[in-house]
Amino acid sequence: MRYITDRKRALGLGAAKSGTEHHWFMIVSGVALVGLVLAFVLIFGRALGASHDEVVATFSRPFPALVALLTIWVGMLHFRKGAQTAIEDYSRGVTQKILLIVNICISYTVMAAGLYAVLRIAI
């Protein structure tokens, strides 16, 4: 039998040892996405309907390319963590493991493809 005081139990990070870190990551990335998505929509909205050369010229400039890169990167990390939480809450066993692997593969594949596409235009 272990004799641990309530205070000693409260000092731990919980059963998963990362709940607070995950929560703060989601809050910070969500706040960052508010500004990034607004900037991305404004930049993308101006380029929408333009010719191919005009769109390439828009995303060849540093600021629009940086906004697009950050939006894709932060958005997909936020998506991965949020989907991971939903999968862990609503599935169990082998299904959970498979869904977590698929989630990670999809999120990093979309992130890599998006970053490659923007970098290809920007450079």
Taking only the tens place, the pLDDT of each residue in 38-75 is: 999 999 999 999 999 999 999 999 999 999 999 999 99
For the chain, give every domain's residue range.
Answer: 18-122
Whether this prediction's pTM lies above 0.85 is answered by no
DSSP annotation of 11 reads T
Report the distance separating Cα 108 and Cα 21, nearest Å: 21
Q: Which residue carries 């139990």 as its tokens?
A: 9
Please choose, from the candidates 38, 44, 110, the residue with its C-alpha nearest in 3D space to the C-alpha of residue 78.
110
Tokens representing residue 74 in the block: 């932060």
Half-sphere exposure of 4 (CA within 13 A, CB side): 9
Residue 40: name the closest of 68, 59, 66 by CA. Answer: 68
Flag the least confident range among 7-11, 59-63, 64-68, 91-95.
7-11
> If residue 76 lies in a helix (H) or strand (E), which one and from where to where?
helix 62-90
In this prediction, residue 22 carries a pLDDT of 86
What is the domain class of 18-122 according to CATH?
Answer: mainly alpha
Question: Between 62-90 and 93-122, two packed helices, what is the crossing angle to 10 degrees?
Answer: 180
- 34: CB partners within 8 A, 6+ apart: none
